[in-house]
Chain A
Amino acid sequence: MQSKMKESDPILEVENLYASTDNLPILKGVSLTVYPGEIHAIMGRNGCGKSTLSKIIAGHPSYNITNGDIKFLGENINSLEPEERAQSGIFLGFQYPIEIPGVSNLEFLRVSTNARRKFLNKEELDTFDFEELVKEKLEIVKMDHAFLSRSVNQGFSGGEKKRNEILQMALLEPKIAILDETDSGLDIDALRIVASGIKKISNAQTGIILITHYQRLLDEIEPHYVHVMSDGQIIKTGESDLALELEKKGYEWTDNFIKEN
């Protein structure tokens, strides 16, 4: 099955990526390739560079790429602005979604959806048509319509913020979604809603990278590949059973891989 997937071109190629912030090296040669339909999990201790990798792929201005390339659908995107990456189909689900006071969630979702639609040469949606679309997508994350009239993420609970992220993913229909610890801070019910949302949105054409500490998300969404990161590098790649083993043995176990390398 996997070999069949690889007949198509990769969505994302990260090639020997080195990156730093304030001259402090964070990524030290990361390589990762995601094909359509694949789900990858990245695990590792806090501070190993997982979140940084996700932010760099999305174009966060605080990080400098010092070596290596990021390719999206075959094109180098190293120097693209974050909004250009988003418009072309890269989605980052934030670990800590940001609060934006005064900006209505509905308006924010509409402007962002239209930015993506414009890129896809689809007609931009007016307020009424957008209402229809968003109603449908709210179902996926079981969110109440009342969320739309509030300011972006302001006063949302942890679970509500994460569901709002998945709602954005549903509206933007990305080619690749990088979900940074989307499971953290969720109770079991919320985790199920989020996981089933992700499954509904993804399909044979999309790629997903799940950044997580816990097996429980991977119980809901089984990854094709699991990567273990340590000190800015991917030190081991395996299939879904690697995550189970990691859960059993802890990250100390992975320290041995570094020694082996």
Chain B
Amino acid sequence: MVNENLVKDVVKEPYKYGFVTDIETEKIAKGLNEDIIKLISQKKEEPKYLLDFRLKAFKKWQKMKEPDWAGLGYKQIDYQDIIYYSAPKQKEKISSLDEVDPKLLETFDKLGIPLTEQKKLTNVAVDAVFDSVSIATTFREELAEHGVIFCSISEAVKNHSDLIEKYLGTVVPASDNYFAALNSAVFSDGSFVYIPKGVTCPMDLSSYFRINSGDSGQFERTLIIAEESSSVSYLEGCTAPMFDTNTLHAAVVELIALDDASIKYSTVQNWYAGDEEGIGGIFNFVTKRGKCLGKRSKISWSQVETGSAITWKYPSCLLLGEESVGEFYSVALTNNLQQADTGTKMIHIGPKTKSTIVSKGISAGNSINSYRGLVKMGTKAKGSRNYSQCDSMLIGDQASANTFPYIKSQQPNSEIEHEASTCRISEDQLFYLQSRGIEFEEAVSMMVSGFCRDVFNQLPMEFAAEADKLLALKLEGSVG
């Protein structure tokens, strides 16, 4: 049918972040063993407890099996064929942004994340991570005035070792799963955030992850701690060049919210997705989890997942504190041969805890888009509530959408509500909009946007606009 092809044209969009920065890098040898881990730890001048943490994780990882329950189809990963540390060569000590290699600054400029004093974004502080290392963090002094710590995790290990030792691995233990264990053994860089008691972070914090090298994996680690009555909004963006090989990205993110604290964590994930035939693209195997440790604490995840060949990601909340709140708002768009298996776990442990899940999956091309989620009410979660809504939209007739909700309740005095729907953009709907003068591409984009509205409303302002644009771009193709 004519329209079928049109839809295919529309969802094709050239990936505009696919360039490679030509820069001299320091890479270690391929492969994974204790010596490699010791080398990474040594390069980062880490204290002994951290090396021990890594080595313990590696031992565990060696005994674990790569999970296959998600039913994702991909070529076996050869973990000995990956470079675990790759960093652009820089001067030993960089005291200001002016000393950063102009090529790196230019790269982030091109990605829309200018870092220099003159050009930097005014309302958001940025930590820019390039392959295995953090390049720069803006607004550090301004944040420090409020007692907010925002730096790379490597720096935090050096300067705030007590916090790292206290919290690292407490939300996602090294033995949690195969990829978390791998990350714990080899993690390179990532962001660290600490919001002191009673402080509302004066600006949004943001990390931008850029994979540049084709043969190295990226294993970033992020830790955010919100002390009593503090709050922070954190944004995360990611892109990578177009390579015809697959690159492994296995991150771990840990969030900790104490009494009355709130953390809002938003992601726009646009890793390279591979080409139309499914060649290349990032394997995005990520463990993200937040612990609502304190009373009335709140952790809210929102994500817009558009990239990666494979996404395997379940940002979750452990609701321990009484009356704590967990939220998960997700839009996942897959096209061509992309596979996404994403969702959340809401583990209600404390009484009167509340969680909300809103998931919107859009599948086009030959892609597979699955929601997988667990809602669990523990024995002490009396008076707790969950509401879940999982909607899928299909574009074309080759794409597939699945919903796998798991519900476990050990507490009779709790409520769990689950709603699910599947819809298709029909030819009749498109014709209706077109017959009112609306261009075909705009019609598709309007409907997708309308479908995602509930989630976009949860994103920080600038991000919402960006997400809308990103989806429109993915859906618009080269015309217009």
Residues of A whose CB lies within 8 Å of any CB of B are 58-62, 81-83, 85-87, 92, 94, 97-104, 107-108, 111-112, 115-116, 119, 151, 168, 172
User: Can you list 15 A-B contacts (CB < 8 A)?
Assistant: A61-B427, A62-B427, A83-B436, A86-B434, A94-B435, A98-B429, A98-B432, A100-B433, A103-B447, A111-B438, A111-B446, A112-B436, A115-B436, A115-B439, A172-B436
Q: How far is the CA of A98 from the CA of B432 in the complex (A)?
A: 7
Look across to chain B and name the residue whose beta carbon is closest to the beta carbon of A104: B450
Name the B residues within 8 Å of A97 (CB-CB).
432
The residue in chain A whose Cβ has the minimal distance to the Cβ of B421 is A101
Q: How far is A59 from B428 in the complex, measured between Cα atoms in Å?
A: 12
Which positions 422-467 of chain B face chain A at CB distance < 8 Å?
423, 426-429, 431-440, 442, 446-447, 449-453
- Counting CB contacts under 8 A, is B144 at the interface? no
- A103 contacts which chain B residues (CB < 8 A)? 446-447, 449-450
Please tell me which one of the listed residues A94, A98, A112 contacts residue B438 in the complex, with CB atoms under 8 A apart. Answer: A112
CB distance from A28 to the nearest CB of B (A): 23
Instruction: Give the chain B neighbours of A94 by CB distance below 8 A.
Output: 432, 435
User: How far, in Å, is A166 (CB) from chain B's closest CB?
Assistant: 13
Asked if residues A83 and B429 are in contact (CB atoms below 8 Å), the reply is: no
7 other A-B residue contacts (CB within 8 Å) besides A81-B434, A86-B434, A111-B438? A60-B431, A61-B427, A62-B1, A86-B436, A87-B437, A103-B449, A111-B446
- Do A151 and B427 contact each other (CB < 8 Å), given the known contacts A83-B439, A94-B432, A111-B442? no
Please indicate the chain B residues that have their CB under 8 angstroms from the CB of A101 in the complex: 423, 450-451
Cβ contact within 8 Å between A58 and B447? no
Please give me the residue from chain A that is nearest to B6 by CB atom.
A61
Q: How far is B432's CA from A168's CA once the two chains are assembled, in angstroms?
A: 12
B447: chain A residues at CB < 8 Å are: 100, 102-103
Chain A residue numbers with a CB within 8 Å of B427 are: 61-62
Q: Which residue of B lies closest to A168 (CB)?
A: B436
- Give CA–CA (A58, B432) in the complex, Å: 10
Task: Give the interface centre of B426, B438, B442 by most chain A CB atoms within 10 Å.
Answer: B438
Q: Which 5 A-B pairs have the closest CB atoms?
A: A102-B450, A115-B437, A112-B436, A103-B450, A86-B437
If over half of B's interface residues share one DSSP class (helix, strand or loop), that class is named, otherwise mixed; here it is: helix
B437 touches A172 (CB 8 A): yes
By a CB distance below 8 angstroms, the chain B residues around A151 are 450
User: Is the pair A102, B3 in contact by a Cβ cutoff of 8 Å?
Assistant: no
How far, in angstroms, from A58 to B428 measured CA to CA in the complex?
13
* B442, closest chain A residue (CB): A111
Q: B396 to nearest A CB, angstroms? A: 15
* Cβ contacts under 8 Å, B440 to chain A: 81, 83
**CB of B103, distance to nearest CB on chain A (Å):** 42
Q: Are A100 and B434 in contact (CB under 8 A)?
A: no
Chain B residues closer than 8 Å to A82, beta-carbon distance = 431, 434-435
| B436 in contact with A108 (CB, 8 Å) | yes
Contacts of B438 in A (CB 8 A): 83, 108, 111-112, 115
Q: Which residues of B contact A119 (CB under 8 A)?
A: 437
B432 adjacent to A59 (CB under 8 Å): no
Q: How far is it, in angstroms, between the C-alpha of A176 and the C-alpha of B453 when the chains are bound?
A: 35
Within 8 A of A (CB), among B404-428: 423, 426-428
Report the minimum CB–CB distance from A119 to chain B (whole Å): 7
Assess the B432–A83 pair: CB atoms within 8 A.
no
A94 and B428 CA atoms in complex are apart in Å by 11
A168 to B435, CA, bound (A): 11
User: Across the interface, which residues of A come within 8 angstroms of B433, CB to CB?
Assistant: 100, 108, 112
Residue from A92, A101, A102, A116 with most neighbouring chain B CB atoms (10 Å):
A102
Which listed residue (B3, B442, B450) contacts A100, Cβ 8 A?
Answer: B450
- Counting chain B CB atoms within 10 Å of each CB, which of A81, A101, A115 scores highest? A101
How far, in angstroms, from A85 to B431 measured CA to CA in the complex? 12
A198 to B345, CA, bound (A): 55
Instruction: Give A82 to B432 CA distance when docked, in angstroms.
Output: 9
Taking CB atoms, residues of chain A closer than 8 Å to B434 are: 59, 81-83, 86
- Bound CA span A205–B74, Å: 63
Q: Which residues of B contact A85 (CB under 8 A)?
A: 435
Residue pair A61, B3 in contact (C-beta under 8 Å): yes
| Chain B stretch 298-339: residues in CB contact (< 8 A) with chain A | none
Note all chain A residues with C-beta closer than 8 A to B432. Answer: 94, 97-98, 100
Give every chain A residue within 8 A of B3 (Cβ-Cβ).
61
**What CA separation (Å) do A98 and B427 show in the bound complex?**
11
Which chain B residue has the least Cβ–Cβ distance from A83? Answer: B434
Contact call A102/B437, Cβ cutoff below 8 A: no
C-alpha gap A69/B447 in the complex (Å): 33
List residues of chain A with CB within 8 A of the CB of B426.
98
Report the separation of the CA atoms of residues A160 and B138 in the bound assembly, to the nearest whole angstrom.
54
A61 touches B446 (CB 8 A): no
Q: How far is the CA of A111 from the CA of B447 in the complex (A)?
A: 13
Min CB–CB distance B313 → chain A (angstroms): 24
A85 to B436, CA, bound (A): 9
**Using Cβ atoms and an 8 Å threshold, which residues of chain B touch A62?**
1, 427
Q: In the bound complex, how far is the Cα of B54 from the Cα of A151, in angstroms? A: 53
A residues near B436, Cβ cutoff 8 Å: 83, 86, 108, 112, 115, 168, 172
Interface string of B174-200 (1 = CB under 8 A from A): 000000000000000000000000000
Assembled-state Cα–Cα distance A86/B427 (Å):
17
